[in-house]
Amino acid sequence: MRVGHIESAADRPPAQQDVKDVVSHLPLFDGHPRMRAIRSVIESIADTDTTVLIRGESGVGKDLVARAVHAASTCRHGPFIKVNCAAIPQGLLESELFGHEKGAFTGASGLKQGKFELADGGTLFLDEIGELSPSTQARLLRVVQEREFERLGGTSTIGVDVRLITATNKDLERAQLEGTFREDLYYRLNVFTIWVPPLRERADDVPVLVEHFVKQFCAENNFRTPSFAPAALEALKRHPWRGNVRELKNAVERLLIMIEDDEIRPEHLADVLRRAGDEPASPASTGTLRDFKETAERTFLVGKLKENAWNISATAAAIGTPRSNLYKKLEQYEISQEKDG
C-alpha cells in the first residue's frame, strides 16, 4: 500500500537491471532455489505498491527481505522505518505508530510524530504484526482502508504516502479463529505473501552466509579475517539452527571474538553448537568480559521469566526494571518462551 500516492514515471526505477543489482548482492538470496525464487518475486513486485506480508520462523531473515523489497521499490529513496510490535509495550505502541498531541495522556508533554508520519514517502515495516492489541488493529485497519489517521489526542486528519510491509512468525489463520486477530485486517495485509524457509531446509546457504557475516563483522570491528576449515563449515551446515539466520550470525560473531587462530576448525565449535539440554559452558570460559556479562545476564533473565510464568510485568517488577527495558533485553538476547521456556 502506498497511501494517497499517484505514481509518475519519474518515481520508477531507471531500469529493471537496477532492481536486480539492489537485490542480488544480498547473500540471503544467493544460494538455495527457494531463496532465489524470493529474489525473483521481489523483482516482480518492484514496480508495484502491493502490500506485502512476510512469513516465516523467528530469525529466518524477514527483516532483510523487507529491506530488499524497499530497496527494489519505487519508494527506495524514501525512509525505511521498522517497528518491532512485540518489543514495545502495547500501551505505548499506538503512540509510536500514530504519534500524539501535547496532553493526550499523562507524560505527553509535547507533540510527537508517529512512525507513519516519519515513514512518509518511504516504507513502514511492522515486524511481529501478530502481537498487535485489538485496539491497535482497529486503528491500523483504518489507515489501510481510509489512507489517513489522527494522532492520539488530535483532531486533524493526516494523510501519508507509505508503502506498508508486515511480518510475523505466528499462525494468523489460527489467530483469526481464536479471535485474537481481525479477519478484515488480515485480508488487507495479506495482499501478497512471501514465505521465508528456515535455515535447516537450506543448509547449502550456510557457507555463503558465514562468509558474509565474517566480512561484515571484521570490517566493522577492524578484526582479522580468519578462514573456516571445510570440516567446520560442514558441521555448521549439519546444525539444526533453531534460531535460523540470526542464530548463525551470532554464532559467527562469537567465534570471531573467542578464537584467535587464523583458521576456525571443528573443535572450536563446541560452545556455539551446543544444543538445548547440554551442559552449559562455564561463563568464565566464554573468552571475553563482554561474553561473560551477556551470558550471565541472559541466564538471569530467563530464570526470572520462568519464575514468573513468563509474565512480563511481574518479571519487570521482580527485577526492578521498567517493562520497556525488559522488552529491549528480550529482543537483544533473543529470549522467547518458545525457545527458552
- pLDDT by residue (tens digit) across 235-293? 999 999 988 999 999 999 999 988 888 999 998 998 777 653 344 444 444 455 666 67
pLDDT band, residue 81 (cuts 50/70/90): very high
Average the pLDDT over 177-181 and give the result. 93
% of the chain exceeding 90 in pLDDT: 40
Q: Indicate where the chain has its CATH 1.10.8.60 domain(s).
A: 199-279
**What pTM was estimated for this model as a whole?**
0.72
Higher pLDDT, 337 or 327: 327
Q: Are 87 and 331 in contact (CB under 8 A)?
A: yes
Least confident residue range of 21-25, 77-81, 138-142, 235-239: 21-25
Higher pLDDT, 227 or 151: 227
Determine the pLDDT at residue 82: 94
In the CATH scheme, what is the code of domain 287-341?
A: 1.10.10.60
Contacts within 8 Å (CB) and 24+ apart, 104-109: 104/151, 104/152, 104/153, 104/154, 105/152, 105/153, 108/152, 108/153
Q: Are 266 and 231 in contact (CB under 8 A)?
A: yes
**201 in helix, strand or coil?**
helix
DSSP string, 145-176: HHS-B--BT--S-B---EEEEEEESS-HHHHH
Separation between Cα atoms, residue 52 and residue 69, nearest integer Å: 9
Average pLDDT, the chain: 83
Q: Are 241 and 200 in contact (CB under 8 A)?
A: yes
Higher pLDDT, 320 or 228: 228
Q: Indicate where the chain has its CATH 1.10.10.60 domain(s).
A: 287-341
Determine the pLDDT at residue 69: 93
Average the pLDDT over 34-38 and give the result. 90
Q: Are 204 and 31 in contact (CB under 8 A)?
A: yes
Q: Indicate where the chain has its CATH 3.40.50.300 domain(s).
A: 9-197
Determine the pLDDT at residue 66: 94
Given the candidates 3.40.50.1820, 3.40.30.10, 3.40.50.300, 3.90.1150.10, the CATH classification of the domain at 9-197 is: 3.40.50.300
Closest CA to 32 of 193, 266, 245: 245
**39 in helix, strand or coil?**
helix
Least confident residue range of 107-111, 153-157, 308-312: 107-111
User: One-letter amino acid identity for 162?
Assistant: V
Average the pLDDT over 176-194 and give the result. 93
C-alpha cell at 17: 537491471
pLDDT band, residue 323 (cuts 50/70/90): confident
Closest CA to 168 of 190, 184, 191: 190
pLDDT band, residue 56 (cuts 50/70/90): very high
pLDDT band, residue 192 (cuts 50/70/90): very high
Determine the pLDDT at residue 6: 33
DSSP string, 109-138: -S-B--HHHHTTTEEEEEESGGG--HHHHH
Fold of 199-279: Helicase, Ruva Protein; domain 3 (1.10.8)
pLDDT band, residue 202 (cuts 50/70/90): very high
Q: Are 151 and 114 in contact (CB under 8 A)?
A: yes
